[in-house]
Amino acid sequence: MPVAPVFANKTPENLSATFLDEFNLFNWDEIQERIARTTPEQVANALKHPRPGLEAFMAFMSPAAASFLEPMAVKAQRMTRQRFGKTIRLFAPLYLSNKCQNICTYCGFSLGNKLPRKTLSAREIEAEARVLKASGFEQVLLVTGEAANEVNTDYFVRALQQLKSHFAQISLEVQPLGQKAYESLVEAGAYGITVYQETYHRPTYQQYHLKGRKTNFDFRLGTAERACRAGVRKIGIGVLLGLQNWRVDSFMTMAHLKFLRRHYWQTSYSLSFPRLRPAEGALVAPFPVTDKELLQLILAYRLVDPDLDISLSTRETPSYRDHLISLGITTMSAGSRTNPGGYSAAKDSLEQFEISDERTVAEICQMIRDAGYDPVFKDWDLSLAGVTGGNI
């Protein structure tokens, strides 16, 4: 399965300096066809490869690999334990605002949805922080809609300055920003940036992103690179599974990840697997991903990238999350609320999407221990900023 046709007779080593340049060489339909025609023999050979790459990743994601899930799982479990031990890191999303100027037809925060909008004040942020801290959390992910007139770099800096005395590790999942803005966030205490491309299929992206700055596919695609250049220590990427063919979208994600690792090797990387979930005013997944297919995808990522931090959110059911504890997952959210003020105030209808795992933090910790793993709330501190990669 030579890699050259995928890169239009070029190889990754001689591609241009940005991922956009590399991305523009891919042919979506050709990749989809090559994945579909993968043979069982190619999957077996990929499992034997000492350093599997994009070719092996295509094989692991292929329909032919569905009958190899057991040996894939055994190898993925062994690799995960070698790199991460029997630990599961826990974090909580902290939603600061559901205001958004974009129209994205799959999202509960979309501008066209008639729901109450809220941006947390400093006092409300403090109340949320105290609840999360009391639950044991040291890692939080700040989440907002994209409303640059109000929820912007200045707002993020103030929130970071307020929260860094509460938490050891703060990441953000907000609108794509410029390099200078990311430098300001790092200076204020940001550890990581998460940005989902949603889908790498341009026509589909344009179909679902109808208004606002998020319509700019190329600017979003370059977000991780700008954040890396700004000194962000950890980058999370991924797609919204269900918008397009999950196999091709995931191939593009892996290609993106490999590009980032080649060019920004000092940065650490994470990946999550959000499946399109019900939300107010949003659509049903046009390309649904089954539980078995999601497991196959998680195993494929682990087999090709042993150091990748792989996260599974409360979008997934309790039983499914329990089952995947030992199969490549390294990070989980717990006790999540997806509405601004959701931890310190009554649950209301301001959610971005519905969650499936509503267990308490204590219940999640007990489940992890029952599986023979240790729940970890803290593995990094700002005082270690001079340590390469920041992880201990």
Structure confidence by residue, pLDDT tens digits, 263-295: 999 999 999 999 887 654 457 788 999 999 999
> Is the pLDDT assigned to residue 14 strictly greater than 80?
no
Alpha-carbon dihedral of residues 214, 216, 219, 224, nearest 10 degrees? Answer: 40
pLDDT at residue 1, as a whole number: 40
Q: Can you give the pLDDT at residue 314?
A: 87
Scanning the structure block, which residue is given the tokens 């550890």?
A: 191
Is the overall model pTM greater than 0.85, yes or no?
Answer: yes
Q: What is the pLDDT of residues 318-348, one digit of tens each?
A: 999 999 999 999 999 999 998 899 999 866 5
Q: Cα dihedral sign for 79, 82, 83, 86?
A: positive
Chain-centroid distance of CA 358 in Å reads: 20
Rg value, the chain, Cα: 20
Among the listed residues 250, 259, 189, the one whose alpha carbon sits nearest the alpha carbon of residue 224? 259
Give pLDDT, residue 382: 56
The candidate with the shortest Cα–Cα distance to 235, out of 389, 31, 66, 55, is: 389
CA–CA gap between residue 154 and residue 174 (Å, rounded): 13
Q: Domain boundaries in the chain?
A: 4-68, 78-384
- 14-17: Cβ within 8 A, 24+ apart: 17/263
Do 311 and 331 contact (CB within 8 A), yes or no?
Answer: yes
User: Which of 284, 114, 101, 287 shows the shortest CA–CA distance to 210?
Assistant: 101
Residue entry with tokens 């339909």: 29
DSSP state of 342: T
Beta bridge pairs of residue 374: 87
Q: Tell me how far apart the alpha carbons of residues 113 and 258 are, in angstroms, rounded to a whole number.
A: 37
Say which CATH superfamily domain 78-384 falls into. Answer: Aldolase class I (3.20.20.70)
Q: Count of alpha carbons within 13 Å of 227, Cβ hemisphere only?
A: 30
